Amino acid sequence: MNIICNVLALLIVFGAIYLSYSTKILKDPEVDHPQYGKIEMYSFARTQGLWWTTLIGACFVIGFGANEEVINLNATCLVLLSIGVGTNAIGGIIDTPKDDDEKTDDVTPQNIFKKRIPHFLRDILSDSTGITVYRYQALIFNLIFSVVFLVEFLENISNNKMQFPVFENETLGLMGISAATYLGMKANEK
C-alpha cells in the first residue's frame, strides 16, 4: 500500500506540473493589447492556491500509505489551504474587469515579450512596473513554509507520529499578512 500511495502522491505532483504548463490553470485572464495582441501571464495567486493544494494533497496520500489510516487535516493545513485558495479567489475578483474599466493598453514593454517567451518566475513576481518586493516576499514565505511543512511532515511519518505539522498562530499570521499585502497591492495595480 505504501508504494501505491507514494506513486499516487508523485502522480498528484506531476499532474499539477503537467496542468501548469499544458493548460491555462495558472494564468491570469488574457489582456488584449491593441498593438501586441493577446498577452497571458502566470498568476501568483493561482500558483499559490495550486501549490498548497498539491503539497497538502500529496502529504495526505503519503501519510495514508505509511499508516493505512487517514491522517486528519489539522488547523495548520486548513489555514494554509484557505490562504492559498482565498488569495486565488480574491485575486480573481480583483482581475475581473468591470464594465466601467477602461480598455487596458498600458502593458509595459517589460511585460510585452512574455507573449513570445513565457517566463514563469518573472510573471509571478512582476506587476506592470516590474518585479515587486511584496510579490517576492510572498514567494519567499511560501517557499520557506512549504519546506518546513514538508520536512516536519516527513519527520513525523518516519517517527510513526501520524500527524501534519502544527504551525504557531504567529507563523500562520505571517502567511496571512503576506497574502493580504499581496492582494492589497494587486488591487492598487488596477
Q: Tell me the pLDDT of the chain (190 aa) as tens digits.
A: 789 999 999 999 999 999 998 999 998 887 776 766 777 888 999 999 999 999 999 999 999 999 888 999 999 999 999 999 999 899 888 877 665 555 444 445 445 544 444 588 888 888 877 788 989 999 999 999 999 999 999 999 999 998 999 999 999 999 999 999 999 988 887 5
Question: What pLDDT, on a 0 to 100 scale, did the predictor assign at position 73?
Answer: 94
Alpha-carbon dihedral 83, 178, 29, 47, rounded to 10 degrees: -60
Question: What pLDDT, on a 0 to 100 scale, did the predictor assign at position 101?
Answer: 52
Task: Locate the DSSP E strands across 116-190.
Answer: 126-127, 130-131
SS3 43: coil
Question: What pLDDT, on a 0 to 100 scale, did the predictor assign at position 79?
Answer: 95
Q: 102 is written with which cell numbers? A: 477602461
Question: What pLDDT, on a 0 to 100 scale, did the predictor assign at position 37?
Answer: 74
Rounded to whole angstroms, the Cα distance separating 26 from 122 reads 14
Question: What pLDDT, on a 0 to 100 scale, did the predictor assign at position 131?
Answer: 85
Which helix (DSSP H) or strand (DSSP E) does residue 31 occupy? Answer: strand 31-33
Question: What pLDDT, on a 0 to 100 scale, did the predictor assign at position 114?
Answer: 46
Which helix (DSSP H) or strand (DSSP E) does residue 151 occupy? Answer: helix 133-158
CA separation (Å) from 53 to 14, 77, 137, 160, 167? 13, 9, 20, 24, 17
The closest alpha carbon to 116, from 47, 189, 44, 37, belongs to 37
Question: What pLDDT, on a 0 to 100 scale, did the predictor assign at position 93?
Answer: 87
Q: 167 is written with which cell numbers? A: 504551525
Inter-helix orientation angle 44-67/75-95, to 10°? 160
- What pTM value is reported for the model? 0.84
Inter-helix orientation angle 75-95/169-189, to 10°? 0
Question: What pLDDT, on a 0 to 100 scale, did the predictor assign at position 116?
Answer: 44
